[in-house]
Every structure is written in C-alpha cells, then in structure tokens.
Structure 1
Amino acid sequence: MNKRETYLAFGTPDFTDLEIDAVARVMRSGWVGMGKETIAFENELSEYIGAPEVVTVNSCTSALFLALLAEGVGPGDEVIVPSLTWCATANAALYLGAKPVFCDVDPLSMCVTPETVAAKLSDRTKAVIVVHYGGYAIDVEALRTELPSKISIIEDAAHAFGAKYSNGQRVGASGNSVCFSFYANKNLSTADGGAIALYDAEKANHLRSLRMSGMGSDAWSRYIRPSTAFVTGLTELGYKMNFTDLQAAIGRVQLERFDEMAEKRKCIALRYQERFAEAAISIPFQSQVFEERHARHLLVGCFGTKKTGKSRDQLLLALRDQNIGASIHYRPLHLQSLYNHDGSNSLPITESLAEIILTLPISARMTLNDVDYVFDHLVKLI
C-alpha cells in the first residue's frame, strides 16, 4: 500500500468559505473584540443546547476554572475528577488552591460512575467534575441522587457538544454548569475558546463579570450605552477570559452547519464499524460510540497485545509512520508527579485502559477512503 502524502490528524476542523467570509465580515466592521457577534452566538448556543444561559470564554480551561470559582471552591477543598482526562480538568481545581482527587472509570464507557465517585468522597469534597469522555454523555441525574446536595456537579463537556443525555436532552441542558471547548479539533470549532451553559441567571451574570476583569460592563456595553462608560467600581478580582467576535463569527457558521458535520462524523464511525465487522476483528470500542446520542468527538478502541499481537504503542508508532494521526487519550493524571506526590493512589481500571486505548482519526473532513486507508494499514499491522 502506498503511503499517503498528507498527514491525517485524529481531529481536523471543518472550515469552509462560509467561515472565512464570516471572519472577513467582522474584520471589515471594525469591531473584532467581544460584541454583538458574541452575544448572538451565545443566544444561538442557548437555543441549540436548551440551556437558558450561555457564557462564552477564551477556553474550556477557563470555563472549568470559573465554574468552580462560582461554586466557592478554594483552598482546603477537594474536587473529584477522573484520572482519564486532559490535565485542564484537574488543573482548574489546583488554580483555586483546591486538591484534585482522582477516581476510576467504567471500563466500557471510560467515564466516571456514581460508584467510582462515591469511593472518593470525603468531608472536604466540594465539587465533582464529570467528563463526558470521547463524546459519551454520562447519566448526571443518577450521579446527583448519590451525592449530598451540598456537593456541586460541574460537567466537562469538552468532547461532547451535540451529544445527548439518556433522557434525550442535549448535553448542557442538565441544570449544572456545563463547560464546552471550541478548540481547533473539537466537533464545533472557533479555533479556540469555550463556554459555560447553565440555568442560573444570577450566576451567569457573575461569570460574565469575572471573565472581564470583574467589571460590571464590557467594552461593547460601554460603546452602545455611553452612560455605562462612567462605571469604574471594582469589587471583586476578575480575569481576562473573554471571547471575541472573530471567534463568534466562526462559531455561528459552525453552529448552522453542525447537524451536517455531525452526520458526517456518524458516517465515518459507521464505516469503521463496517470494516471491522467485515474483517471479523473484534476490537472493543468505547460504549455507545456507534449510537445516535454519542458526539463521536473521539473514536477510542482497545488495542492490547492479546487482541493484536502488538503493543498499543507499537501500533501507534507504525500508524504515525504511515501519516495516520493515531493518538492516546489519555495518560492517567494520577500517575503524574504533579498530582501524585507519593505514588500511593491506585486506579486499576484506568491503569489497565491506559495501556491499550488508541484513538483513530475521525472528523467531518474525512472521507470514506480515509477510513479505508486507516483500516487497511491497521489490519496489515495486526
């Protein structure tokens, strides 16, 4: 088989001339910071998700940080997080002086469960961050019933824009603070950025102030309502974490095209499923990834030595050599020295998954021929 000339990344943004034209329109307007385009994007996100309040920020990391801050998380508190996640999930707690406490995951969904969270509860637990890993929406209602009411649930939905809970609602409409990422490789991309979806209007207004240095009004508000230009009082330490109209212009087009892009991802996932079935190769994938409610941000399978005759790392390097951007999501955080100073924590399921999980490329930019290229090389290697 011939080696492809271009690198096939595990996730590629699907930008068209529509997004380019939208950015050009905003640039010509003379207002590129946070303004009316951002407000429109927030309103459109709110309608699509089904959450009455959406606050855009500069990253999902910032969204997680602000969500925890708004819940009063601080020094001496503990925040339960899965170890199988990107470091930002845990770092959001560290930034506030809190301690991330790592829990295990379910081997099929690769997400936390009420049982794995309960195993790590203490009298210092202030919040739980659940991760909708890969795009699979966990049952947050079931988790809520198992937790004391004083413990906040924050949802890390960086992978899960467009996914649905078991009740059919879109991720973000749970009533919790739900944090999204619009990073370059996400299902809906604005190159970078994030958002928090929630129900509490007072909390949402607090977050809007915090993202703009703690000010009661932003530059756009002062521009369209001159009387607010004289408001200078600061009562709370805020941060510079705002969105921009350039990003919002991209996001509004992406949102219009989102269902189309989601359908393309579904077709790519089903092609993988068909090819594996045709070859009678039984590779366990994250549960639900081929079903409707999964966002299919990641396509994660278990490629252990017993299944393939090769280690996962051997497969990854061999695929990369063929310009196939296979990846690993993730190296367990509880094994990193930044978090686990004495090496005492043990999470057996996470540790076993970490040796065999492999992410195969999936995006709305991929073609069925791209899937065949990946699959054919993978079969050859196996």
Structure 2
Amino acid sequence: MNDKNKTKKELLAEIEKLRGAEHSYHILVETVNEGAATLTDKGIILYSNPHLASILKIPLKTIIGMPFNRFIPKTDMLKFTALLKQGKTGNSKGRIHLKCKDGLLIPVQVSMRALDIHDTKGICLAVTNLTEQKRNEQILKSEQLSRSILEQAGEAIVVCDTNGIITHASNSTSLLYNTNPLLKPFEEVFNLQFKAVRQTNINFSIKSVLEGKSFHGVDAVLLLKSAENPDNLKKFNLLINAAPLKNQQNNIIGCVITIVDITEHKQIEDALREREEQLSGFFNSSPAGMAIVDSNLKFVKINYALADINGLTVNAHYGKTIREVLPELAPSLEPLYQQVLSNGKPILNLEVSGETPLAPGILRHWMVSYFPILGIDKKPKSVGVVIFEITDRQKRL
C-alpha cells in the first residue's frame, strides 16, 4: 500500500510496532543531541526525537506522518531524493539544508540506513545540525584571512588587547621595529612623538583608543636605535590610524593600529619644499619682471618687479586676465601668449611698447621673452614671461 494512501491509524500502528521492537533504542535516541527519525521507504516520518523537532522548529506531536521532503528546499531536493534512494538499500550520507517552519535554512548533515523490523521496511535517519560548525569554519576562515592580511600587508598593522598589549602584528611591523613586538605594551614598543598640528592629533594614546576614540592621519616621529650602531638613532616619520576593535555585542575587545612609514615621502616633500622656496626666492627677488599666465590668460604667479612695472600690487594680479590688468596693452600682448600656447614655441627678446596704469600717457619700452610651460602630457599649459624695461635705453637712441 502506498504511504500516501495509508490512514493515520495505520501509520500509528507501524509506529507502535517500531517502538515495541526498539523501545530501548528510542529511549536512547530521545536523549541524544542529534536529530533522529524513522521514515517509511517513501520518506514519511514514523518517528522523530525531540531534537529533530527542535531543529525544524515544529511541535513534536505534529511532525509524525508528515513527508520529510516537506522540510527540504527546492535547491536540495534532488540531492535528498538521491540520498533517500541510496538509504533504502544501504547507507547514505550528505550535506543539505532543512527549511524550518519560519523559513530559515539550517545546514545539516543527514545519514540514512535501511531499517527492517517485523516486515516493516523503513529508513533510519540521523540529522546533525552544522550551524555551529559552519560558524566555526567561518571564524577560522576569518582568522586565516586576518593572518594572511597581516603577513602580506605592506604597512605595519598592530592589534592590541584591552590592556594595550600587542597580540598580533604584520610582518612589516617586525621589519620596522627590528625585533618581535608581540606580547609587549604598544607604547613601550613604539615610543612615539606626536606633532599636534591638527585637533585629531591631540591626546593620542592607546588608552584613548581603548576608550572608544578613533584617530586618523596622526603625524608622529619614531626614534629607534640602529641595529648596526646602537648609539645612533634612526628617525622615522609615521602616519598613524587607530580605532577600537569591537565584538558582535559592540563591546571593545582591543584596538587596531596601522602605521605607515612616510619617511621617504617626507624627505622628498622636504626637498621639494626647499626647492620651491629657492625658486620662489629667486622669482621674487629677481630684478627682471617675471610672471606665469595660464591658458585663460590669467595671472597665476607674478613677482614684485613686474607688479611694480604694472603699477599694481602682486595680489591685485592673481586671478585677473591680462586685459583686466593691462587694458591698453592687451590687444598687442594677448596674441603673443596665445601663439606660445598654440605652437609651444618660445618668443625671445621681443620689443614691446605701450602705456601702463603706473604711468598713463607715457610711452614705455620693454624687452620681453615668452616661453611655454608644459604639462604632464607635454603640451603647453601656461606661459612664462620675463620682462626687462628698456625705456631709458630707447630714449638714448
């Protein structure tokens, strides 16, 4: 007779037959922490222990007589059918999901074996909840990922516990510190000197981070003894980021600090700043008039000599066009700038005459050179100009 056509009374009779034959077995099964059930060869539940009902989140008294595949999601139905078929004649084992009453999918491992008691053929089913195992696997993978990040990170990364003791550190940390920093207080390993340039840098400490405060872009200096010569101190410029480390309950369990060595960058920055200061000093103190005009013919830089020639302050030129600053000379000057921007070729030692706001009505003469200033794409982005006034020389001619 097909299981679907059996009455509830007939199913209960089969259950009683199984219970009578395996009474001791059922007592044992009902006390274990794994789900267990007896199925007909068609997959109808004849018996279930409380733990399986708990996994499925369904009352134990209502589970009897239900087809077990009712709890199998569509994505696992083919696999379950194959396991059931194999379990009828021998043993089968596999991982699938069970769909609980609330729709939640639970990862489980099912084991099945054929059961034959008093001419009643059935299947013994064991169900192991893998939720905790999956969670542990995820934690392990997360830990492995964290270790991989620490091992391969280019920057120094340090993890401290709630006492400020270093529990994890990237390989780069050891290279920076020249020794193993683990299990040592962070502030003992990294005796940092902070530059309180920005408000966020003030009062940086591991204690503050462990109290919940985050720090970003903190400039610091670290002095370390040289491995070759302990009497020599090596200076490192560092950029520090730090934040509290929290668990799923949002409790602080430590902190994470990233340390970026910007020593080389700082040296380059200082060298560029020094060169900029030298160029600015040369530019501003030059007796020749000098300026830089962008592609819109606006002044972006001008020295005092040229500002004096034009009869305006240096600041009065910035952001202004040639036409706004020198309206009388603009018709003759603008084509020269545009020519240099267009073909990228300099115009050297050109004599220019005209009036300026400093001395209206007086004709003045200059020797002017224009040269292109190229951008990254090697195309002219602005024009530099150098001017020598030759009015007195022209008068003597």
User: Using CA pairs below 8 Å that are at least 6 residues apart, which structure has the higher relative contact order?
Assistant: 1
TM-score, shorter chain, exceeding 0.5: no
TM-score by length of 2: 0.19
Instruction: From the two aligned structures, give the one with the greater strand fraction.
Output: 2
